[in-house]
A = this chain, B = another copy of it.
Amino acid sequence: MEAARLTVQDLGYGGLSFRELAKAVGIKSASIHYYFPTKGALGEAIMRRYVEHYARYLEGILEGGADRATALRRYTDVFRETLLNGNRLCLAGMLAAERNELPAEVRAEVVAWGEMNERWIARVLALGGAAGAEDLRGRARAIFAAVSGAQMVAHGRHEVAVYDEVVATYRASGLIP
């Protein structure tokens, strides 16, 4: 699962093959079909695992009692780390681009990723205190989209510095508190 995830983040869903994955983990491709009958099932499992992993990780940040600014800093650092790790894109970001050639079950998980992120960011924004009845969910969605875009642009240039610069500008402009 770990090898498959890294491959998809590197080469996309289309770049993931049973044969190459089998080679990477030292078995034969037919053995992977034993656990995941189709590529769609494999993709769904990879994506679900990813969403659950980060749901736990983000939950941990809040349980650790981080304040709003700190939590959001840790959030943007997650995307930064992914870039540092072999110029990889967020798994869901990669799959979002490939959406039109994805099996339906994988698409659904991509949407679930976005919703999980938005829910979490909205909760973090609410930590800000007496800001009143703003549209937290809409703001959360905008932050999610902006950070995803920053990662993609930096990925396209293969320069983490671009990501850092763009995210800093988001903060300076007030988009990210």
Kindly specify which of A28-36, A69-77, A94-102 makes contact with the partner chain. A94-102
Q: Are A96 and B165 in contact (CB under 8 A)?
A: no
List chain B residues, Cβ under 8 A from A165.
Answer: 138, 141-142
Closest chain-B Cβ to A16's Cβ sits at a distance in Å of 11
Q: Which chain A residues in 54-97 approach chain B with CB under 8 Å?
A: 87, 89, 92-97
User: How many of chain A's residues have a CB under 8 angstroms from any CB in B?
Assistant: 48
Q: Are B155 and A170 in contact (CB under 8 A)?
A: no
Q: Which chain A residues in 138-177 approach chain B with CB under 8 Å?
A: 138-139, 141-142, 144-150, 152-158, 162, 165-166, 169-170, 173-175
Q: In whole angstroms, what is the CA distance A111 to B159 when docked?
A: 11
Q: In whole angstroms, what is the CA distance A107 to B170 when docked?
A: 26
Q: In whole angstroms, what is the CA distance A94 to B12 when docked?
A: 11
B11, B99, B138, B162: the one within 8 Å of A155 (CB): B99
Q: Are A97 and B93 in contact (CB under 8 A)?
A: yes
Query: 11 interchain pairs (CB within 8 A)?
Result: A12-B14, A14-B14, A14-B15, A15-B101, A89-B97, A97-B98, A114-B157, A145-B150, A145-B154, A146-B170, A174-B175
Given A92-B156, A96-B155, A145-B154; 15 other pairs, CB 8 A cutoff: A14-B15, A95-B156, A97-B98, A114-B156, A138-B165, A139-B173, A141-B162, A141-B166, A142-B150, A145-B150, A146-B166, A148-B153, A149-B152, A152-B152, A170-B175
